[in-house]
Structure formats: structure tokens, C-alpha cells
A = this chain, B = another copy of it.
Amino acid sequence: MKNNSLETRKIFSSFFEPSAVAVIGSFRESIFGGYVVVKSLLKSGYAGKIFPVNPGYKSVLNLRVYGSLEEIPDPVELAILIINAKNVIRVIRQCASQGIRAVIVVADGFAERNQEGAKLQREMVKTARELGVRIIGPNTAGVLNAWSGFNPCPYDAGYYKLKRGPVAICSQTGMTNPQAFPYPEMPYGISKICDFGNKSDLDECDLLEFLKEDNETRVISMYLESIKDGRRFMKIASEVATRKPVLVLKSGKTPSGAAAASSHTGSMAIDDKIFNAVCLQCGILRLNTFSELFEMPKVFAAMPLPKGNRMAIITYTGGVGVLATDEGAKYGLTVPGLSPVTQGFLEQIFPMLGRMPVDIGPMAAAVKNFSEIYPVLLKKVLDDENVDSLLNVLWADPTRVSEPIYLKGYDKIGREIKKPIVTWVYGPSVPAIHSLKKRLEEMGFPVFPTPEMGVRALGLAWTFVRNARRH
């Protein structure tokens, strides 16, 4: 089997940008299945042709349903199979005879289920290879391309178009497809989503190879339970990770976790210490928790990279300054002293305000002209020559009096930003927190759900810069 990069790019263009797609499955109205695939495609603005196939239906959502692949009058580039596992090989043969080279096997009941399913999966792959057909899956929720509006999601997410942007999310589970996560709430846009499922054929390496050259993708966030080919993974990951941030959450760390992974996608385990060493060597940015898959891309999508490891902190409360300092140390971030000029400026405003972390709590409660001080202070600290990045902690007061003051500060630095800022908003009122978060993210500034996550994002950004310099 060739692992030629050009080949890979060609085949993935059939998966992500097909001119015509055949959907083979049930077209009963439901929240899962062929019906939803067609609905998602129609609503996501897919410009190619859609050919539903099922001898039991005449039409679905005002589209003609074809009795078989043979009846379709036009060339088809991609087929999506949401059918019983036992019929998959037969339909792959039909696909091949119609010139279809790309097949997404949504169907489950393969290696993730039992020995019999594993055997079926091997036969399926063998057949496909003989016929020159490439497979994503089985046991997958499939792919998505936000730029071309190609969203064949088989689960009804309730929304269909995704914001276009630089973040590719790929995963060995459907947990990152639209039905599982509220992408419209995220500040960044998506380039591609891909659940490679049991990765019987195309896998994380192929996808990385494709995304390496994909101009619409600047950040890659990936969930893995296993690595199919360690040597190849290291080679490709090293090539990609110096160009684009590759964030990886790897589960199956423990023996019991690995056993669970095996029953989920039929994966083989890899020793977690070895995988850690692989990440360090290749420049992969390793994630710790599921939500980081979605949160950490924020900083890469919206902020410039830091030029050094000196993280300033502005906070309403010293306690968070201490926690943030601890967290930053894990990534080699140091909390710098401010330059004498900035220090002098801040001390004039309020005693001890020039210290780092800059604790604005006492000052904010005491001064009368906070609305004028804050925007200037924010910019002065960010512009300080000793500062490479900034964690900004904001207290969303319940009356929202401070909201416009904060926004004025961000507006002041907004257009010419050269250093990354991450923000954490806290306070006693959930609506006030949400409002401020939303406004800031609309302005292009990422807001994180916890202070530790914000620091971690800066830590990963700095790690990426350091890795890229090393190469």
C-alpha cells in the first residue's frame, strides 16, 4: 500500500470536497441515519450533487431516492454507508464498479464488537484494497468541511452550517462531530472535522499528512485511543508539528483504559510513557482532558504566538495569581517583574500596583476613575518590554457597570496586538459572565472557562514556539 503524500491529498479531497455523494441507508425520518445525512447536506449548503440510494424509498426531502448505485446518472465521488455491517462488503464492490474510490462506513458492528466483527473488518479492507477503494471508518460519524459547506453528519445536531476557520478537529470517536459539541458557541471557526472510527484503512497518519498541506487548517486538535503505525506516526507528526500546532489527547493510558479502548474501536494499546516520549520528540502538544480538545485551539486560532516565556498576570485577586503562576511553571512560563517605567506608572495610581501579579482588586475598590485607569493599565502591562504574554482575570460585576470599561481596554489594544492575551472571567452572576465573555470573543479575544486553562493555552503556545525554534 502506497503512502504517497500526493495520493493522500487526492483521496482526502474526495472525502472532504466530493463533487457528488451517494448516501446508502434508511431514509425514515429520525435523529440518526441516511435521512439525517441528506438533511445535513441540504442545510449545510453543500453545492455538489446528492444521491440517496435505497430500493425501499422513492424520495427523501424532495430528492429522488435511487434504487441502486447503478441507477445514478452522474459520476459519484464519495459514498456514505449507513447500513448493516454484513452488507458493507457487497456495497463496497458496487461502489468500486461505479468508479467510487472513497467510502465512509458509518456502520458499526466491526472490530469494536467482537472477533467476528474484526474478521469482517479485515475482509472489508482486503476487498477495498483489491478494488482501489479507500475507507474512513467503520464505526464513524464521518467527516465535515466547513469551508465547502460539506456536512454529512448522520446525527441531527440541530445546526448544520459551521463557522469557517483554521481549526481541524479529528478523533477516534464521534464525540467531536457536530451532534456532540456546540460548535456555534466557540469563538473560532472550523476547517475540517474527521472521526476516523476504527481506522481500518485511513488513519491518523493519513489525516495528518493531508492536514499538513491543507491551507485552510492552521491548528490540529486530535483525540486518539491508539497509534496504528508508530514509526510512520513519528515521521509525519514531526513534519506537521513544527509547522502547525498538533494538539493530541490520548486515552487508554492505563491498562484498564486500554481495555476499554479496545472495546470502543478495537484499538491496541501503547505504553503511555512511550507515547509521552514520542510527543516530546515530535513536538506534539499533549492535552490532559476532553474539554481541552476544544478549548486549547482558541489561543492558536485567534492570538499571535508569544516570542518568549514571560507571562504577565493581571488579576482581581491574588489567589488566582498564585494558581496561575503554579500552572505556568509546568510549561516553563515565568512571571516577570515589570520594567521600572511601567512599575513607576502603576505605583503612581495605587500603592503596590506595580508588582507582579498585578492585583487590581484593592485599586478597583478604592479609586474613583477606574474607567479611565483600566484601559491604560491593560495596554501598559501588555506593552511592557518584560512581557511576552498575558493572563487577564476579569471580575464581571453583577450590575455589568464594568463591562464597557473592560471592553474599552481590549478595544484599545485590539487592532495592533503582537502578544497573546488569554482571559478568564469570574463573578457572582452567570449572565454577567456570559455577556462579557461573548463580547470579548466577538472582538477576537479568547476567554477560557478556568484560569488554569487560560494559562495552559499560553503554555502550549510557548511550547509550540520553542519546538519550532529547535527544528
Binding site for B on A (CB under 8 A): 31-33, 108-109, 112-114, 155-159, 171-175, 178-183, 185, 223, 225, 251-254, 256-257, 259-261, 263-265, 289-291, 317-323, 325-326, 328-329, 334-335, 351-352, 355, 357, 359, 361-362, 365, 395, 397-399, 401, 426-430, 433, 449-452
Contacts and interface: CB of A to CB of B under 8 A. Distances in A.
Given A289-B450, A319-B251, A178 B264 contact: no
Contacts of A335: 256, 260
29 contacts: A31-B397, A31-B401, A113-B351, A113-B352, A156-B397, A157-B398, A157-B428, A158-B399, A158-B428, A172-B319, A173-B319, A174-B319, A175-B320, A179-B427, A180-B426, A180-B428, A182-B430, A182-B433, A185-B430, A223-B319, A225-B322, A256-B325, A260-B318, A260-B322, A260-B357, A261-B318, A264-B357, A290-B452, A291-B450
A33 B265 CA distance: 58
Given A108-B362, A325-B257, A317 B157 contact: no
Nearest to A272: B326
Contacts of A264: 318-319, 321-322, 357, 359
Contacts of A223: 319
Contacts of A290: 320, 323, 450-452
A378 to B, nearest CB: 20
A98 B325 CA distance: 44
Q: Which of A31, A257, A323 has the most CB of B within 10 A?
A: A323
Contacts of A108: 362
